[in-house]
Amino acid sequence: MQVADRFEYATTQDPYRNYCLWQYAPVAPAEDKFRAVNLLYQAFEVSGIDARAFDLVEAIRDHIGMFRTVWGTKLIDGRLAWELYFYDYARREREVSISKLIEAIAPFAPCPVPIDENLNYFMFSIDVDDALVTGARPLDVVHMYVGNPGSTVSSGICYALTEQGSRLENLYYFFDAATMLQQAADKIGDSAYVDETRMPVERLLWPELADCQTICIANKQHNDTVYFAGVNVDQLLFFFDRVGYPRAIIDFVRINHDHLDHLLYDVGYDYRTRGDEVEIIKSGYYGIF
């Protein structure tokens, strides 16, 4: 099957949600244009991942439902990889659970990670690659997110769950781009990875994307990350060009610009700085299916 045969088209009933599953209104007429999942499918084709990756998407939809899964396509050391994210803000009253996801992907890969559904998580994610969808490796890490009471902004804490136990991974802080841009900049500057006397924050908090809806700053074990949520298709292309996505992905969006201009996109990149140089470690763009 050609990837174009899998493409899906928007209807008047489609919801529009960002990478936190927060709703937004389409920014242009949407009916019969591309759904965001088409970008995921096209990235699958570019990477050459096994066709069972498409089957995994359908299996998850069957268990979780339509438009309830966030996908992230990552560029790491010149190769493509994926992460899938699942939210249920009802927490312990959740319908979308880690256990339910494990059941959905059981035909593809086993999961030896013990799960405690009494934990007060609101989100989790899994890493997807060729080895997972073909059963060559188990699902051996689940990333679980909990809230951060006491923070003055929306924030979350991520733990990696493995057979050996849990370990702290990342801290996330969300800032409204229209009213809290300076706070986001201050958060970037308060870091072990940024020397503001040599690295202007604008070189990390890109002005070309800063007029988005929400800016998230993450502190991770070996680097920091900035995410821009709610950018338009032209800003998505700017991001692709700046971080060096494969030409086939860039050309696909350019050619299909008018089929993608109703959507808002979420993008981000992991970075460290060395003096006045920025090292981009990985980057990602996000949508839902």
pLDDT tens track for 8-27: 999 999 999 999 999 999 99
Is residue 81 assigned to a domain? yes
Structural domain of residue 91, as residue ranges?
Answer: 3-174+239-268
**What would the 3-class secondary structure string for 135-203 be?**
CCCCCCCEEEEEECCCCCCCEEEEEEEECCEEEEEEEEEEEECCCCHHHHHHHHHCCCCCCCCCCCHHH
Element (DSSP H or E) covering residue 277: strand 277-288
Is residue 283 assigned to a domain? no
Please provide residue 146's backbone torsions phi and psi, each rounded to the nearest 5 degrees: -125, 165
pLDDT at residue 285 in the model: 98
The span from the CA of 98 to the CA of 121, in Å, is 10
Is residue 213 assigned to a domain? no
User: What is the domain count for the chain?
Assistant: 1
- Prediction pTM value: 0.96
Is residue 13 assigned to a domain? yes
Is residue 203 assigned to a domain? no
Is residue 226 assigned to a domain? no
275: confidence class by pLDDT, cuts 50, 70, 90:
confident
The span from the CA of 249 to the CA of 38, in Å, is 11
For 66-95, the pLDDT digits (tens) are 999 999 999 999 999 999 999 999 999 999
For 221-249, the pLDDT digits (tens) are 999 999 999 999 999 999 999 999 999 99
Is residue 181 assigned to a domain? no
Is residue 186 assigned to a domain? no
For 150-171, the pLDDT digits (tens) are 998 999 999 999 999 999 999 9
With both helix axes pointing from N to C terminus, report the angle between 52-64 and 37-47 in degrees, rounded to the nearest 10. Answer: 150
